[in-house]
């Protein structure tokens, strides 16, 4: 399967077989690191929004493969602050790099970048839309922990503005997972995302009681309320702190439950949960490394 030169913009652009191939490549890289296959290659990381894990793991992945990174984090330091357009920024950066990873507050910014760039563009999160590389690492984590992807998963939290869950719901449905959606009122999964899932079969349920959800599913995927996307700060105040996973929530948890979170966490998982056997969110962080090594190796045509 040849991914060389391709972009990675939406999870919808990938087939099941392609996702399986990427996950298999990541596993190979985790178990036996391939060495400097990206020597002489440069990845540009253009982060117009805050990031800890995504940007650093892309940089770490490049280094592990013998490549280099350039870029900026925070639009305030780049020429966009002078009024430069995104497309001019991309046309500039593509001349200095072999691939571009971009995070931007606007839905569609990654797609637009890919249209003007002759080098592969990787969407590291565009607005409330998509975050496909996070989805691959989420799938990888589930596969490593559960051995399969047709699991029972609850997506919890801000399903309206959360881009991670928009990408992940689609991929999980594709692999035959059963989804339970749990969100505060007003932050439900958008209708168009749900209707997109229907083509894989009717596998979506809703449930409000978190303890009940934890007693039924195998994977609890918890997300942060995406405060920065709220047009009205009062709307945020109404929903803030309305859900939290605590030991009490987990009192009847299913024996083989795992808890995942794309991070950052604010207050939606109590620290007391971190030491339990359910908590897998920091393993999930680790899995971001082999997954991003695989993505970079594949898109730059090195594997
Ligand atoms: C997520 C994001 O940026 O969408 N973070 C990440 O990449 N792990 C989730 C979030 O910000 O809540």
| Spans of all domains in the chain | 11-130+288-299, 132-285
Query: How many A from CA of 262 to the centre of ligand 1?
Result: 6
Give 86's contacts (C-beta < 8 A, 6+ positions apart).
80, 104, 109, 112, 113
Assess whether the region 11-130+288-299 and the region 132-285 belong to the same CATH fold.
yes
pLDDT digits (tens, 9 = 90+) for 122-144: 999 999 999 999 999 999 999 99
Is the distance from CB of 80 to CB of 98 less than 8 angstroms?
no
Residues of the chain below pLDDT 70: none
- Looking at the structure, give the CATH architecture of the domain made up of residues 11-130+288-299: 3-Layer(aba) Sandwich (3.40)
Q: Which of 11, 53, 54, 226 to mutate to test the pocket of ligand 1 (most atoms within 8 A of CB)?
A: 54
Give yes or no for residue 55 CB within 6 A of ligand 1.
no
Ligand 1 nearest-atom number relative to CA 53: 8
pLDDT at 6 (0 to 100): 98
Ligand 1 nearest-atom number relative to CA 262: 8
pLDDT at 77 (0 to 100): 80
CB atoms within 10 A of CB 268: 18
Residue of 257, 256, 263, 259 lying closest to 288 (CA atoms):
263
pLDDT at 204 (0 to 100): 95
Q: What is the pTM of this model?
A: 0.97
pLDDT at 288 (0 to 100): 98
pLDDT at 76 (0 to 100): 83
Which residue's C-alpha comes closest to atom 3 of ligand 1?
125
- Burial group, residue 82, by CB count within 10 angstroms (0-12, 13-18, 19+): exposed
Which residue's C-alpha comes closest to atom 6 of ligand 1?
262
Domain 132-285, CATH number (from 3.40.50.720, 3.40.630.30, 3.40.50.1370, 3.40.109.10): 3.40.50.1370
Mark residue 125 as left, alpha or beta (left: phi above 0; alpha: psi -120 to 50; beta: remaining): left
Which residue's C-alpha comes closest to atom 8 of ligand 1?
262
pLDDT at 80 (0 to 100): 86
Q: Return the beta strands (E) in 112-191 as ranges.
A: 121-126, 152-156, 178-182
* Whole-number Å distance between alpha carbons of 14 and 1: 12
């Amino acid at each position: 399967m040849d991914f060389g030169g391709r972009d990675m913009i939406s999870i919808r652009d990938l087939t099941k077989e392609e996702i399986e191939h990427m996950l298999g490549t990541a596993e190979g890289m985790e178990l036996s690191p391939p060495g400097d296959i990206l020597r002489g290659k440069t990845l540009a990381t253009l982060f117009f929004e805050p990031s800890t894990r995504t940007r650093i793991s892309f940089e770490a992945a490049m280094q592990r493969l013998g490549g280099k990174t350039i870029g900026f984090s925070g639009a305030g330091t780049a020429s966009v602050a002078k009024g430069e357009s995104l497309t001019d920024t991309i046309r500039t950066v593509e001349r200095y790099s072999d691939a571009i990873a971009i995070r931007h507050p606007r839905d569609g910014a990654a797609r637009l970048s890919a249209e003007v760039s002759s080098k592969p563009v990787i969407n590291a999160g565009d607005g409330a839309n998509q975050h496909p590389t996070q989805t691959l690492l989420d799938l990888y984590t589930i596969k490593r922990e559960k051995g399969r992807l047709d699991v029972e998963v609850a997506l919890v939290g801000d399903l309206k503005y959360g881009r991670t869950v928009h990408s992940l719901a689609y991929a999980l449905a594709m692999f035959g997972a059963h989804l339970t959606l749990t969100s505060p009122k007003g932050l439900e999964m958008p209708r168009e995302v749900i209707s997109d899932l229907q083509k894989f079969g009717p596998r979506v349920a809703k449930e409000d009681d978190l303890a009940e959800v934890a007693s039924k599913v195998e994977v609890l995927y918890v997300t942060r309320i995406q405060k920065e996307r709220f047009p009205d700060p009062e709307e945020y105040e109404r929903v803030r702190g309305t859900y939290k996973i605590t030991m009490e929530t987990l009192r009847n948890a299913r024996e083989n439950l795992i808890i995942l979170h794309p991070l950052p966490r604010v207050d939606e998982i109590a620290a007391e949960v971190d030491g339990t056997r359910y908590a897998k969110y920091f393993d999930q962080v680790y899995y971001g490394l082999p997954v991003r090594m695989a993505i970079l190796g594949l898109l730059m045509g090195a594997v």
